[in-house]
Amino acid sequence: MPYWRLPKLRIAIIGVGSIGGIILGALADTDVEIVCVSRGNTSVNLSELGLVLHSPEGSIEVVPSERYLIVDSNSSRIPEQIRNTCDIAIVCGKTVDNQSLSQLASELVSENGCVLTIQNGLGNAELLAHKVGRDRVIVGSITHAAWRNSEGEVHWVGRGEIIFGPLDERGNKYTDSILHVLNDAELNASKSDNIQQILWKKLLINVAINPVCSIAGVRNGALLEVKSLWQQAMQAMREAAIVARASGVDLGDIELESYLREVVSISPKNRCSMLQDIMAGRETEIDSLCGAVVIRGEAEGIPTPCNAILHGLVKGIEKSSSLD
């Protein structure tokens, strides 16, 4: 039985980019109510055109704007009829916007609701906990792959999974309902009791794929085609794994090369989120990925030269994109 007793659950998606677009498209085929929080052109497109979603199987689905409520986070306050009415707020936005994202989550989620973060990097859950309480924060990792074109259409190019668990054991009361919602939407969700393992295993993938593909300007599949790119990705991943284990994180019996190959193999045509940000001239999440590994490594006395170089190169690209 779902934890909530409302006739229909109301789900907020905070940040409707490529990953948020997948969540929206999947939830649109269920009977939940949906609130989309976006900004700028994304908000305009969602309001006027709906969501255009290209599935991994090649079909094109249009989710009409009548299927969801829209909140433009740039131009308006959360309407009173929506404020604190959402049973689950799913945070999909970029870590560079964490302050505003956590505030939005606190204004949307109901008194008895919870917040699920499926963002990249470390530290997101703790920031949300300051706003809504540790017992209401659920931490997740998503490996579904997607990119968004210049017209705002979302290309879902690889089916993956969502693994999640509560930040605090008191949050276990929410997990069955979240599992039901996500699997009703066929998002291949499962629960885990090892939150740190969830976060770090996703981080291992992100530090391997995102900076290397972004600097080279290539899709994920190029890592399997260009030996030197694969070597750089693996070195960044190995450094992060050493730091994780030194920090007391149980990564299980993961075999790093097989793990990376598996993820890249299901998303060869994907443009990683960092590459999408660079192409659009946006600030990237490199600080919460390679930057976080470098900082944790310094705290543990572990050198992370590959992550440090990748971090510096991406910061340089960010800087160059702002030059005339």
- 84: containing domain: 10-193
Boundary (domain end) residue, out of 193, 220, 248? 193
Last residue of a domain, one of 161, 193, 225: 193
Q: What is the pLDDT of residues 11-47, one digit of tens each?
A: 999 999 999 999 999 999 999 999 999 999 999 999 9
- 276, 173: one domain: no
For 199, residues 6+ apart whose C-beta sits below 8 A from its C-beta are 122, 125, 139, 141
Q: What is the pTM of this model?
A: 0.89
State the average pLDDT over residues 74-85.
Answer: 88
Whether residue 147 sits in one domain with residue 16 = yes
Q: Give the mean model confidence (pLDDT) for residues 293-315.
A: 97
Q: Based on the structure, what is the number of domains in the chain? A: 2
Is 99 a domain residue?
yes
* In a shared domain, residues 20 and 161: yes
Q: Are 227 and 152 in contact (CB under 8 A)?
A: no
CATH, residue 201: 1.10.1040.10
* 193, 215, 233 - which closes a domain: 193
Residue 76 has pLDDT above 70, yes or no: no
Give a yes or no: residue 163 inside a domain. yes
DSSP string, 108-163: HEEEEEEEEE--SSSSHHHHHHHHH-GGGEEEEEE--EEEE-TTS-EEEEE---EE
- Where does the pLDDT of residue 322 fall: very low under 50, low under 70, confident under 90, or very high at 90 and above? low
Same domain, 36 and 184: yes
90 and 68 in one domain? yes
